[in-house]
Structure 1
Amino acid sequence: MEDEYPLQGVLESALAEAGFASDILSSGEEAITIFVARGKHHKALVTDVCLGGKLSGWDVARRMREKHPDLPVVYMMAGADLGLWKSQGVPNSVLLEKPFHPERLIAALHEL
């Protein structure tokens, strides 16, 4: 999930080049509808922490982990605060500080 449209395209291209299929969404509400309510199969969550709407990336990851406890999660955040990640992030997740090279995202997904 990423609410900045230019970055959505960069992430989608990087994921496709690495062999990942993706659903690019811009809000937590969209993600909950698609993945939790409709039960769409997914293998990982990549989310910006600050999103438009009421749900943050932290919120969405916790909700998705309720249904899939082992779901890999990669958080993206400008001015990353490790303390905030440790208190708000789900266990066994990765935090990438924006800006980052798309290869770091692919490496994080492979790591998880």
Structure 2
Amino acid sequence: MMVEDALRDGGYEPAIAGSGEEALTLLKAFRTKYSALVTDIRLLGRLDGWRVARGAREIDPSFPVLYITGGGGDEWPTRGVPDSVLLNKPFSPDELVAAIAKLLKNGAPA
């Protein structure tokens, strides 16, 4: 899994959820364990990435969110949570790690 490997190689400890529902369950149960949400817009299950990010922000209004997508990025301005970042596929592992590092260090760009 490219995203997981890239994050590990970048020094992060990713937790991988099999669906949007599982991601929110993990965030609700272990909020202080996680530093950011990296979500594809299109996910298995009932929840898409837009809804998962909104759920994460209900748990913590300032929780950092990085969306990744191969399509649907045109909806980001209207459906994405404020102060989030969008990374379009294809992207390199270095681009992913840099986006997370910037999001965690500086917050999302305006």
Q: Distance in 1 between matches of 2:43 and 2:72?
A: 15
Q: Give the 4+ runs in structure 1 shifted more than 2 A.
A: 79-82
SS at match of 2:38: strand
Q: TM-score, normalised by structure 2?
A: 0.86
Q: Which runs of 5 or more structure 1 residues have no equivalent in the other structure?
A: 1-8
Instruction: Choose the corresponding residue for 2:15, options 23, 45, 48.
Output: 23
Q: Is the alpha carbon distance of 1:96 and 1:80 closer, same or farther for their aligned partners in structure 2, counting shifts above 3 Å? A: farther
Q: TM-score, normalised by structure 1?
A: 0.84
Instruction: Choose the corresponding residue for 2:87, options 93, 96, 100.
Output: 96
Q: Distance in 2 between matches of 1:89 and 1:78?
A: 15
Amino acid across the alignment from 1:93 = S
1:59-89 Cα distance to aligned partner (Å, 9 max, x none)? 010011111111111101112433x101110
Sequence identity percentage: 46
CA shift, 1:26, in A, is: 2.3
SS at match of 2:68: strand
CA shift, 1:101, in A, is: 0.8
Corresponding residue number in structure 1 for 2:40:
48
SS at match of 2:88: strand
Q: Distance in 1 between matches of 2:59 and 2:94?
A: 29
Q: Which runs of 5 or more structure 2 residues have no equivalent in the other structure?
A: 104-110
Contact 1:80–1:96 (CA<8 Å) still a contact in 2? no
Q: Distance in 2 between matches of 1:25 and 1:105?
A: 18
CA shift, 1:25, in A, is: 1.5
- 1:110 lines up with 2:101 in the alignment: yes
